[in-house]
Structure 1
Amino acid sequence: MKRVLFAAIAAASFGLPAFAGDQYVDGTGFAVSGYDVVAYRDLAQAPVGSAQPEAVPGKASYTAEYNGAKFAFSSAENRDKFTANPEYYAPQYDGHCAYGVSKGGKVPGNPNLWRIVDDKLYLNITKNVVGFWEEDIPGNINLAEGNWPGIEPDAASDRVIPNFTSTAPNKG
């Protein structure tokens, strides 16, 4: 009897959508403030302790929907790469600050304060936070991964990114 009940519950759960938290979207109306998440993969990543290259602005004419939000891209090619594998390109923690998640909360991620670790894109909120994040990236990722299941269902942050003004998406 237990086996039948378990099988029925398991079968029913396959028909349910995966639960995901809200993607962080700022005043631009776009995820990642309208910057192209695919383009990060083509940027030369700076060593820990150095500033990363600035993110590539997306264009309003190249967009895709994912996780309840609109993403902008600098080209149709990048948009198509994203739609083929959005989980690979989308930032971790629904675009929230990775260090903030490691501390148990959701705060916005700044698209210019990024790092790719183990093929995953992480954002942070301020330059000071990047310093804390970089003191122990693997440890902070481990903490964030432990915290994320408990805070993912919470609403997306409604805060603005400090000292940041988006230049994306471009009208092109």
Structure 2
Amino acid sequence: MQTPNERISTRRHRGFWAILVLVITANVGGPSAFADDSVNTGYFGGVAIMGYDPVAYFTEGKAMKGSEKFSYEWLGTPWHFANAKHREMFISEPMRYAPQYGGYCAGEVAFGSVTVNIDPEAFKIIEGKLYLTYDKGGANWFAAHAAEAVSKADNNWPKIAANLERDQYH
């Protein structure tokens, strides 16, 4: 039977090992251990859609820069909004407003690949869903071939997302 001091020492020892395992696990996984790599944050900045407001595409019909002042973290990634109302709309229905394919270029996903570079102003809303592309020409192509492009991209996305999680494309 352990003395009270031995029980305290054992608890501290267990706590130390639990923390050590957590720290090692986080470091082995690298910076993405707690982040969802299937959300495109671009090469710099670490913010979804390069800081553009995903709700504005639907409410304003155009790309609008968001603000850190109206930020919300979803899927381990900060999202910026132009105002508090847009942030609240997103919080209540993020899947309605978030871009398809994690904000990666929809055209590239349709072709089975991915590019981190997107132009937040190159977008199309098709059947109530937001698609971002590399450039405005890509957005026009995607919209002109929407049925085929969306079908292909939807089929390719699970594999691409899994590869992103393994950092194959980063």
TM-score (norm 2): 0.70
- Secondary structure of the residue aligned to 2:122 is strand
Instruction: Give the structure 1 partner of residue 3 of structure 2.
Output: none
Instruction: Give the structure 1 partner of residue 41 of structure 2.
Output: 25
- Secondary structure of the residue aligned to 2:107 is helix
Q: Which amino acid letter does the alignment assign opposite residue 95 of structure 1?
A: G
In 1, are the aligned partners of 2:104 and 2:132 still within 8 Å (CA)?
A: yes
Superposition map of 1:5-84 within 5 A: 21-26=37-42, 27-44=44-61, 53=62, 55-84=63-92
Instruction: Give the structure 1 partner of residue 14 of structure 2.
Output: none
In 2, are the aligned partners of 1:21 and 1:153 still within 8 Å (CA)?
A: no
Instruction: Give the structure 1 partner of residue 29 of structure 2.
Output: none
More helix by share: 2
In 1, are the aligned partners of 2:52 and 2:81 still within 8 Å (CA)?
A: yes
5+ long unaligned stretches in structure 2? 1-35
Q: Greater relative contact order: 1 or 2 (C-alpha under 8 angstroms, separation 6 or more)?
A: 1
Q: Which amino acid letter does the alignment assign opposite residue 39 of structure 2?
A: Q
Q: 1:112 aligns with which of 108, 117, 121?
A: 121
- Secondary structure of the residue aligned to 2:137 is helix
Structure 1 runs of 4+ off > 3 angstroms? none
Q: Which amino acid letter does the alignment assign opposite residue 56 of structure 2?
A: A
State the structure with more CA Rg.
Answer: 2
Instruction: Calculate percent identity across the aligned residue pairs.
Output: 30
Q: Which amino acid letter does the alignment assign opposite residue 38 of structure 2?
A: D
| Structure 1 residue 89 corresponds to structure 2 residue 97 | yes
Deviation at 1:132, TM superposition (A): 3.0
Instruction: Give the structure 1 partner of residue 108 of structure 2.
Output: 100
In 1, are the aligned partners of 2:124 and 2:139 still within 8 Å (CA)?
A: no
Cα distance in 2 for partners of 1:93, 1:99 equals 10
Instruction: Give the structure 2 partner of residue 142 of structure 1.
Output: 151
In 2, are the aligned partners of 1:21 and 1:154 still within 8 Å (CA)?
A: no
Cα distance in 2 for partners of 1:63, 1:75 equals 9
5+ long unaligned stretches in structure 1? 1-19, 45-52, 159-172
In 2, are the aligned partners of 1:110 and 1:123 still within 8 Å (CA)?
A: yes
Q: How many residue pairs align between the two structures?
A: 130
Deviation at 1:66, TM superposition (A): 1.1
For the aligned residues, what is the CA RMSD? 1.7
